[in-house]
Amino acid sequence: MLPERRIYTVNEMPEQITEAQRLALLELDTGTIGHHLEAGFMDPGMKQRISGSKIAGTAVTVRITVPDSIMAHYALKFTRPGDILVIDRGQDQRVCCWGAATIYAAAAGGLSGVILDGAANDIADAKRAGLPIWSRAISPVTTKYRGLGGELNVPVSCGGVGVSPGDAILADDNGVVVIPKSYLDETIAKGQEWMRAENEFLAMLRANPKLCYPDVTGASAIVEARLAEQDKDR
């Protein structure tokens, strides 16, 4: 049964992260950020639909808990280049709210991509349009224009993570991470530092192929010290 109350909520567009921040995020990857950040990573059920795609930008959020795609369409009236549309479908994975028409409209408007905790379809069109999508499911069943309600720029849940309008998003082959603005610069700086150190370490390994990897990382020292302690306790 469809709900009787038909409520729409539309809030102001969030301030975007700076272009410098967006480009700096694109130089990183989610795996690099995962070395020093644990919170904010969407669960593995959120699948990349265009292999090799990578996006960074500002979260514009939509919540649709009914089989009605109107708010997803309406959001495209306001999205800007550099924005990422984050859609919370209220745990519904059967009825799709995102397909060919919205894909081409979003791509024409410069939307960076879509993160959809729900079902998408017309993935071939997304590839042709060059609009990256991460979604929990794919379904041929579509929403209808029923005027049942929806919300724009409210806190949502996507991939098991809370997302607020204006949060920074980075999505790639490894997954999706949500980074609040309050520690975005710190996260970028730590990621850049890790990348520099990792590149130096990999260069050393390539130059010295006979190096014992666990000896270099310190894994050997830790395990062997613990083994020695365990032997003493016997």
pLDDT value, residue 1: 44
CA atoms within 13 Å, Cβ hemisphere of 14:
26
CB atoms within 10 A of CB 195: 15
Question: Residue 38 has which token pair?
Answer: 């644990």
Q: Beta-strand (E) ranges in the chain?
A: 7-10, 47-48, 55-63, 83-88, 113-120, 133-138, 149-152, 156-158, 161-163, 168-172, 175-179
Residues 89-133 have pLDDT tens digits of 999 999 999 999 999 999 999 999 999 999 999 999 999 999 999
Domains in the chain, CATH or no CATH each = 7-181 (3.50.30.40), 190-233 (no CATH)
Residues 196-207 have pLDDT tens digits of 999 998 998 899
pTM of this prediction?
0.91
Q: What is the dihedral of CA 115, 119, 121, 123, to 10 degrees?
A: 40
Q: What are the residue ranges in the chain where pLDDT is below 70?
A: 1-6
The DSSP bridge pattern shows strands 161-163 and 156-158 to be: antiparallel
DSSP codes of every residue in 49-88: SSTT--EEEEEEEEE--SSB-HHHHHHTTT--TTEEEEEE
